[in-house]
A and B are shown apart, each in its own frame.
Chain A
Amino acid sequence: MSLRIVVAVKYVPDATGDRHFAEDLTTDRDAVDGLLSELDEYAVEQALQIAEEADDAEITVLTVGPEDAKDALRKALSMGADQAVHVEDDALHGTDALGTSLVLAKAIEHVGYDLVVCGMASTDGTMGVVPAMLAERLGVPQVTLLSEVKVEDGKVTGRRDGDAASEQLEASLPAVVSVTDQSGEARYPSFKGIMAAKKKKVESLDLSDLGIEEDEVGLAGAWTKVDSAAERPARTKGTIITDEGEGGKQLAAFLAEQKFI
């Protein structure tokens, strides 16, 4: 039987751009170009490698986001994913992590899955909570923050490198996996891959397709509220010297003056 893999990805504002908040204190998605979150490329890559190892596998890449989020799906399809699902609904604007995990979980169940693969966090919100929330909502094992992952005989195994220890984990499928940026460089889409992606199926779903009420999501349905967002004041310009043989000593004098030595 075919191994059904769903990769959950996020379309984010480019982190190298000048990111801002919109008036309603949600992320301003117009100010900066969007793209597939870099950390999700690792998830797509690991899904592709797992699929290559399996006899028969199908990868569905899934995102929740505005119209432009299709770009993130196209990128994943051009890397080699088989098909895509885009959950798009005006009522989703301002949805928090809990709401997002609800929509993703329903969409994953709608698609059908043996394995869900996620990145370690998004590069905009950077919370890193969605994989654990998905496992909780789907009621399946969470095998997260892996720097190495393998699927074999209905089991997922992997290595989780924590602060205090490195752990070897094992769980039965179905399961939710998240992979870190240490899991292996993501491939670049080939020209052939880019051309093929244009013909791949992208299914669009809205909240009613998933049986989700509008008030469960969106800014009004969020269980947290941002009251204010202030730009961090620029750091005051410091002293910059050029080393002419005494740079280390001058730096030491500064550190002593600041009572660090």
Chain B
Amino acid sequence: MGEVLVYVDHVDGAVRKPTLELLTLARRIGEPVAVHLGAGADTAAATLAEHGAAKVLAADLPVFAEYLVVPKVDALEQAVAAVSPIAVLVPSSAEGKEIAARLAVRLGSGIITDAVDLEAGEDGPVATQSVFAAAFTTKSRVTKGVPVITVKPNSAAPEVAPAAGTVEQLAVTVGEKSTGTKVVSRTPRESTGRPELTEAAIVVSGGRGVNGAENFKVIEDLADSLGAAVGASRAAVDAGWYPHSNQVGQTGKSVSPQLYIASGISGAIQHRAGMQTSKTIVAINKDPEAPIFELVDYGVVGDLFEVVPQLTEEVKARKG
């Protein structure tokens, strides 16, 4: 069985959930070898080992933080040279996709992005993708080079499968052209204490019907009662009511939670593209003709300012 490189997405050694999902998918096609760039490899190694990483290739150079994307591509390219893997899996984050894109050019490899599932096939890994605003499901594979595949969050349930997780230092030479874009400053986002939008099991979103930034508290209260993440439609974000980092839809995040609650969202194609693979969909909207009702498992036609607070109270009461 060949080795599968898994690029680790982490914050100072705290491994983010999509990476654990990648390890689970990697085990279906080979033996996972994690590539950890930046600080905290020893902390991360325990979690990575628990989820099936046979080895953890680690490199911690200041250039990874000082320059955009490319030094990480150098490192991953050199990891590929060291391991000769049968595939490279990268989380489908903005940065992950850019790393994968450049790696594919360098390796002369085909690339598949935003896979939602992965299985072993006779001619290499087969990736499932959800395309045209999730109206179609395709199955694809890479036909040249080492397959480079980026995988969306929530594509698999992380499984515990203890492996050695031996940490090995990866020697990385950073190319002259790799330090072209300097990161002059970095302002971390303030934590809301809520789950990450793309990783959350439940997402509560507000749209045009919320009608004002101050009214988003109604949405946040419901989210907090359920331990959910908060999303917003493009209309709400464009109006300046909620940050773009919370936008669900084609030009924002695409989410696939167990439960998606849409409040005051009509359900334009732009929005549907980002949420229609959610398992259970619930909507509250004044307009009975709103297209969102075509997608729902349960819909309430009514005023969200009546329905949502009542729901929040009821959730709190039931949870005790």
Quick check: is B81 within 8 A (CB to CB) of the other chain? Answer: no
Q: Are B126 and A227 in contact (CB under 8 A)?
A: yes
Interface members, chain B 128-150 (any A CB < 8 Å): 130-145
Cα–Cα distance between A254 and B297 once the two chains are bound (Å): 10
A227 vs chain B, min Cβ distance (A) = 5
Quick check: is A120 within 8 A (CB to CB) of the other chain? Answer: yes
Cα–Cα distance between A182 and B244 once the two chains are bound (Å): 8
Quick check: is B53 within 8 A (CB to CB) of the other chain? Answer: no
Quick check: is B105 within 8 A (CB to CB) of the other chain? Answer: yes
| Cross-chain contact of B143 among A20, A144, A160, A223 (Cβ < 8 A) | A223
For B137, the chain A residues whose CB sits under 8 A away are 229-230, 232
Cα–Cα distance between A234 and B104 once the two chains are bound (Å): 35
Quick check: is B17 within 8 A (CB to CB) of the other chain? Answer: no
Q: Are A169 and B307 in contact (CB under 8 A)?
A: no
The residue among A16, A129, A143 with the most chain B CB atoms within 10 A of its own CB is A129
Q: Are A21 and B184 in contact (CB under 8 A)?
A: no
Q: Are B181 and A251 in contact (CB under 8 A)?
A: no
A98-B110, A224-B110, A256-B318 known; A129+B98 contact, CB < 8 A:
yes
A127-B114, A171-B181, A224-B112 known; A252+B105 contact, CB < 8 A:
no
Interface members, chain B 89-108 (any A CB < 8 Å): 93-95, 97-98, 100-102, 104-106, 108
| Cross-chain contact of A241 among B95, B188, B300 (Cβ < 8 A) | B300
Q: Are B105 and A136 in contact (CB under 8 A)?
A: yes
A136-B106, A252-B318 known; A165+B311 contact, CB < 8 A:
no
A32 vs chain B, min Cβ distance (A) = 10
Interface members, chain B 56-76 (any A CB < 8 Å): 68-70, 73
Q: Are A224 and B297 in contact (CB under 8 A)?
A: no
State the main secondary structure of chain B at its contact with A.
mixed
CB nearest neighbor in B for A123: B250
Cα–Cα distance between A260 and B131 once the two chains are bound (Å): 28
For B309, the chain A residues whose CB sits under 8 A away are 248
Quick check: is B39 within 8 A (CB to CB) of the other chain? Answer: no
Q: Are A129 and B244 in contact (CB under 8 A)?
A: no
| Cross-chain contact of A170 among B114, B181, B299 (Cβ < 8 A) | B181
Interface members, chain A 107-161 (any B CB < 8 Å): 120-121, 123-124, 126-133, 135-137, 139-145, 147, 157, 160-161
B27 vs chain A, min Cβ distance (A) = 23
A223-B142, A230-B136, A261-B319 known; A126+B182 contact, CB < 8 A:
no
For A163, the chain B residues whose CB sits under 8 A away are 93-94, 189, 196, 245
For A143, the chain B residues whose CB sits under 8 A away are 68, 181
Interface members, chain A 216-239 (any B CB < 8 Å): 222-232, 235, 238-239
* Among listed B40-48, B154-162, B165-173, B278-286, interface-contacting one: B278-286
Cα–Cα distance between A242 and B244 once the two chains are bound (Å): 32
Q: Which 9 A-B pairs have the closest CB atoms?
A: A248-B310, A243-B302, A223-B110, A141-B180, A129-B101, A252-B314, A248-B311, A223-B144, A132-B101
5 contacts between A and B (CB under 8 A): A172-B180, A223-B104, A223-B110, A230-B137, A260-B259
Interface residues of B (CB under 8 A from A): 11, 68-70, 73, 93-95, 97-98, 100-102, 104-106, 108-114, 126, 130-145, 177, 180-189, 196, 202, 226, 244-245, 250-251, 258-259, 269-270, 273, 276, 280-282, 284, 288, 293-303, 306-315, 318-319
